[in-house]
Amino acid sequence: MQKLFLVSTGPGHSDFLTTATRNAIDEVSDIVGYGLYLDLLDHLVKEKVCHTTNLGEEIDRAALALNLASEGKATALVSSGDVGIYAMASVVFELMERQELNGESYPHWGDVEVRVVPGISAMQAASSRVGALLGHDFCTISLSNLLTPWQTIEKRIHSAGQGDFVVSFYNPVSKKRDWQLDRAVEILLEYRPAATPAILARNVTRPTERIQQLSLSEIRGENVDMFTLVSVGNSESRRFTTSRGSYIYTPRGYSGKL
């Protein structure tokens, strides 16, 4: 049987692995993924044939998984968070549609049955750590302009600001990209108050997790890296403190009914 599971490992901690993900891993013989993601799966993949690739080799990783599956090996391609959100699922489907890579044709990829196993994304986990920041309409924007022109990204940030969406920024900063997040903050400040609640969530659910609550105007790119998710509330998002902690939430519009 030619079967490929596109598996979501969640934000990092094993507690956030879904039963569907565990079942998919149990069913396969081969696992393909970035080394860190396989390390996070630990004992679940010890009896599997593991194929690791480096960061930046996403196309080769997807092609390897498709080739293994087309050879009759039940295969899982793993991604952190949700495999369908800024991850490997779209790469796999693009290759299948084209059925070619580096000038070579792979028509047998079309014979592979692909099953997508969704998972918990970093933005969901980060929101849960502070309360319910994603309580109303929200969007995600990747600040990486390696594959998307910055003009397009900036247009989307303006649209999110005009639409008053809660915004989660993925890929906010890297060694070669150190200004995009600061520019994104400047844009959002055109549409919402400086005191708008926001969070920086680094390595959420992992042993080195760090969650910082702050305001929109306090966000600085120099305090963020590629392991950090940045989420900003909308004009209605609220932060309050009790004797047990500080919470951030976005109302659903029930104020007149409570």
pLDDT tens digits, 19-70: 999 999 999 999 999 988 888 788 889 889 999 988 889 999 999 999 999 9
175-217 pLDDT, tens digit each:
889 899 999 999 999 999 999 999 999 999 999 999 999 999 9
Q: Which residue bears the tokens 């900063």?
A: 173
pLDDT at residue 257 greater than cutoff 80: no
Helix (H) / strand (E) element for 229: namely: strand 228-232
Strand partners, 77: 6, 32
Q: Say what the pLDDT of residue 254 is.
A: 63
CB count in 10 Å sphere of residue 85: 19
227 contacts 203 by C-beta, under 8 angstroms: yes
Going along the chain from its start, the domains and CATH numbers come out as 3-120 (3.40.1010.10), 123-249 (3.30.950.10)
* Phi, psi dihedrals of residue 180, rounded to the nearest 5°: -65, -40
The rounded distance, in Å, linking the Cα atoms of 219 and 231 is 10
H helical segments located in 118-169 = 122-130, 150-162
Q: For the whole model, what pTM was predicted?
A: 0.90
pLDDT band at 161 (very low <50, low <70, confident <90, very high): very high
Q: Is 193 helix (H, G, I), strand (E, B) or coil?
A: coil
Q: Say what the pLDDT of residue 64 is.
A: 96
Helix (H) / strand (E) element for 239: namely: strand 238-242
Q: Say what the pLDDT of residue 190 is.
A: 98
